[in-house]
């Protein structure tokens, strides 16, 4: 018999465990003892990109999973979601706009300097 395990805190699907004879209920013939944080129902959904499968108390469902995704805001503030279901902030960027602006400014100034040096007096 297979059971499907989930994390005790996040409820995230962890994988399948196959029960064997040592997991049989000694008091009820033909019945297995189901471990904690496991259910008999296999996951009925499949996670896509930036999603996770969780046990919602009665079955399996999907939540956003942006853990580990670094983001920046226009202000230069940055962060990284740490919990399942935690959304990215509105206006989040996948690059540092302040660093990009500094790089573009330096690039522009270098080109201006090169042009200035080329102009004969």
Same structural domain, 55 and 79:
no
Asked whether the predicted pLDDT for residue 103 surpasses 80, the reply is no
Of the residues 48, 64, 80, the one at which a domain ends: 64
Predicted local distance difference test score (pLDDT) of residue 95 = 86
Same structural domain, 75 and 103:
yes
Question: CA–CA separation, 31 vs 81, rounded Å?
Answer: 42
Same structural domain, 57 and 107:
no
Asked whether the predicted pLDDT for residue 111 surpasses 80, the reply is no
Same structural domain, 59 and 78:
no
Task: Using DSSP, state whether 74 is helix, strand or coil.
Answer: coil
The pLDDT of 91-98, averaged and rounded, is 84
Predicted local distance difference test score (pLDDT) of residue 121 = 62
Predicted local distance difference test score (pLDDT) of residue 5 = 98
- Residue-number span of the structural domain to which 32 is assigned: 2-64
Of the residues 46, 64, 82, the one at which a domain ends: 64
Of the residues 64, 95, 111, the one at which a domain ends: 64
* Tens digit of each residue's pLDDT (9 = 90 or more) over 7-65: 999 999 999 999 999 999 999 999 999 999 999 999 999 999 999 999 999 999 999 99
Does the pTM surpass 0.75? The reply is no
Q: Residues 6 or more apart from 53 whose CB is under 8 A from it?
A: 12, 13, 43, 45, 46, 47, 60, 61, 62
């Amino acid at each position: 018999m297979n059971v499907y395990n989930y994390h005790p805190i996040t409820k995230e699907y962890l994988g399948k465990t196959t029960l064997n004879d040592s997991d049989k209920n000694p008091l009820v013939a033909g019945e297995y003892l189901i471990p904690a944080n496991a259910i008999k129902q296999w996951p009925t959904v499949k996670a896509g990109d930036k999603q996770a499968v969780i046990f919602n108390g009665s079955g399996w469902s999907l939540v956003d999973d942006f853990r580990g995704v670094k983001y920046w805001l226009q202000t230069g503030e940055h962060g990284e979601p740490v919990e399942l279901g935690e959304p990215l902030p509105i206006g989040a960027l996948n690059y540092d706009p302040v660093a990009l602006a500094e790089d573009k400014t330096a690039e522009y100034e270098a080109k201006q300097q090169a042009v200035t040096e080329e102009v004969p007096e």
